[in-house]
Chain A
Amino acid sequence: MGNKRVVEKNDVVDSMHGQRPGNQDANSLKFLGFGLGLRTEYYDIILEQQPKVDWFEILTENYMVDGGKPLYYLDAIRQHYPMVMHGVSLSIGGTDPLDMQYLAHLKALVQRVQPCWISDHLCWTGQGGHNLHDLLPLPYNEEAIQHVANRVTQVQDYLGRQILLENVSSYVTYSHSDMSEWEFYRAVVEEADCLMLLDINNIYVSARNHHFDPLDYVNAMPKDRVQQIHLAGHSDHGEYVIDTHDHPVVDPVWRLYEQALKCFGPVSTMIERDDRFPPFEELMQELTQARNIGETVFGKAA
């Protein structure tokens, strides 16, 4: 893939200008700053107030429509902000053939949006022609690593760029798994030569659901592949935790985020909120909290 990369790993400009103070050698992927997930609830506020958000992440499938409001707002907001694209339907771990119609639509949308990068999830979302509209877990074994890596290579070749894969929250462990989730995740992205979208909340949720130490997960990540970080809230049921994105980010996740930054250097970070939408200022406050953690770890320049 080397020459097809949009994001060059040895981004000389970034490190020379010191945008990653003290971490020139830690992670030289492009750093966009602090962003938010773009949601319809906030379209008008964003256009009218142009809040100080460094970038927005769009949900790819929301804009795979023929016309109308979504595409109108997409184009209007894109004029003011850098964007990245985040999909849920690639089914990179699925066993149906890759959906070439979906990929063609994705490629067309990439042309329109000109995103800094595009991501999807390390999971499967459909089988036998049915779309299950959920991020379903894979078994962590060699068969799955090879299967996913092959498909990522096909996708990256088709799109002519690297993609990011995000770790998902999970609620089951397969008896077919013979390694940890973080060993699996790492093996897939290295085998496929793709980048990572690390969801810190998903690590926390899965750690609670499967009883592991989330720091083991973070420490095992290949830091030169972590392009983006997600932060989000969840629903805590005591014995288990569900990844609902309908609450503020909780303290243990903020602490894990701080540890992650110490480990990786500055990484483009955003808050995901998908339900029980608060006033926009509350999301901005959470974003400030993320910024403050960045400043604590790296000093003001970050």
Chain B
Amino acid sequence: MNLKHLQHSFKSHLFNQESPIAEHIVSDQLSSEFRLGIYANAYATRLIEVLEGDYPVLHSLMGEEAFLELSRAYIQTHPSTYSSLRWFGRHLPEFLQQLQPYKCQPYLAELAEFEWKLVDAFNASDQPAISEHDVARIPPDKWPVLSLEFHPSVHGFQYQWNVLPVWQAHKQGKALPPPEKLHQHQTCLIWRQNLKTLFRTLEPDETQLFAAAQNGADFSELCEMLSDWIEDAEQIPLRAVTLLKTWISQALVADIKY
């Protein structure tokens, strides 16, 4: 057995304990199976710990047993392909969405999506945000065409279950409220500011404007959208500027183009 076959065979043992590798391991007081088991246990334990670290609230909501079962299934389907464990858990929201029995409990995938976006925001690149100073330099005639580039840590998250109260209860060490469907979809914004990962909910008009701005809409288009929400035309630019100022003061904007 050459080195390549040996390693392939060892890996198969880690994945599903189905492998001829035990024949090539010396047994003494401890059997070759037992010795290999040390590696197989360590492999699964390490990856389960990574999922627990990335999805602490999901872990708590599902409970020890169910989360363990989920983790084992996930590890079988999505073995790690990156040198950094930071990426290992990235398929879990999708996994929960697609697989029984999890897809009958859609709040699980939603909570997982929220937690993964927190991980993404935590790890996003260190691009500087622009300041009000930069805004003051924009020539007045350019305002209608200006468009925004959001900071790489910024993520919108749309949800229809009580994900936020569940997350907050976990954070405060309180009993988790049972999953509950909201009357309508809501959106929150997740981002990182001064090394802190933050989130806040959005008003309906801000939800629409944020999504449009993310897709490249310019300032005049954003103002036009506000006419759906605000009757008094004079109030529209005021609201648009207020939103822009909020986004800038919260370090959500990486660049303004005009």
Point out residues on A near B: beta carbons under 8 Å: 61, 64-69, 71-72, 89, 93-95, 99, 102, 124, 127-134, 136, 138-139, 143-144, 147, 171-176, 211, 239-240, 242
* Chain B residue nearest to A237 in the complex (CB): B38
B215 in the interface (beta carbon within 8 A): no
- A68-B38 in contact (CB<8A): no
What residues of chain B lie closer than 8 Å to A64, measured between beta carbons? 83-84
A99 to B38, CA, bound (A): 27
- A134-B3 in contact (CB<8A): no
6 cross-chain CB contacts under 8 A = A68-B124, A94-B7, A127-B10, A127-B11, A134-B39, A174-B25
- B8-A102 in contact (CB<8A): no
Which 7 residue pairs across A and B have the least CB separation, nearest first? A67-B126, A66-B125, A89-B83, A95-B4, A67-B125, A173-B26, A171-B38
What residues of chain A lie closer than 8 Å to B192, measured between beta carbons? 68
Say which residue of A68, A99, A132, A139 sits within 8 Å of B3 (CB atoms).
A139
Query: Which residues of chain B from 66 to 123 have any CB-CB distance to chain A below 8 Å in the complex?
Result: 79-86, 122-123
Provide the main secondary structure of the chain A interface.
Answer: loop
- A66-B25 in contact (CB<8A): no
B6 in the interface (beta carbon within 8 A): yes
A27 to B79, CA, bound (A): 43
With A133-B85, A143-B3 as contacts: A72 and B11 at CB distance below 8 Å: no
- B83-A99 in contact (CB<8A): yes
Say which residue of A95, A102, A134, A144 sits within 8 Å of B43 (CB atoms).
A134
- A172-B39 in contact (CB<8A): yes
Q: What is the CB-to-nearest-CB distance from A236 to chain B, in angstroms, rounded to a whole number?
A: 14
B195 in the interface (beta carbon within 8 A): yes
* Chain A residue nearest to B86 in the complex (CB): A65
With A68-B192, A131-B83, A176-B1 as contacts: A171 and B124 at CB distance below 8 Å: no
B172 in the interface (beta carbon within 8 A): no
Q: What is the CB-to-nearest-CB distance from A178 to chain B, in angstroms, rounded to a whole number?
A: 12
Q: Looking at B39, B124, B152, B192, which has the most chain A CB atoms within 10 Å of its CB?
A: B39
What residues of chain B lie closer than 8 Å to A72, measured between beta carbons? 126, 195
A61 to B85, CA, bound (A): 9
Q: What is the CB-to-nearest-CB distance from A126 to chain B, in angstroms, rounded to a whole number?
A: 8
Q: What is the CB-to-nearest-CB distance from A212 to chain B, in angstroms, rounded to a whole number?
A: 12
B211 in the interface (beta carbon within 8 A): no
Q: What is the CB-to-nearest-CB distance from A237 to chain B, in angstroms, rounded to a whole number?
A: 10
What residues of chain B lie closer than 8 Å to A171, measured between beta carbons? 35, 38-39
B30 in the interface (beta carbon within 8 A): yes
* Chain B residue nearest to A211 in the complex (CB): B28
- B3-A95 in contact (CB<8A): yes
A131 to B46, CA, bound (A): 12
With A61-B83, A64-B84, A131-B83 as contacts: A242 and B38 at CB distance below 8 Å: yes
Q: What is the CB-to-nearest-CB distance from A201 to chain B, in angstroms, rounded to a whole number?
A: 16
- A132-B14 in contact (CB<8A): yes
- B10-A136 in contact (CB<8A): yes
* Chain B residue nearest to A240 in the complex (CB): B30
Say which residue of B26, B80, B84 sits within 8 Å of A172 (CB atoms).
B26
- B83-A95 in contact (CB<8A): no
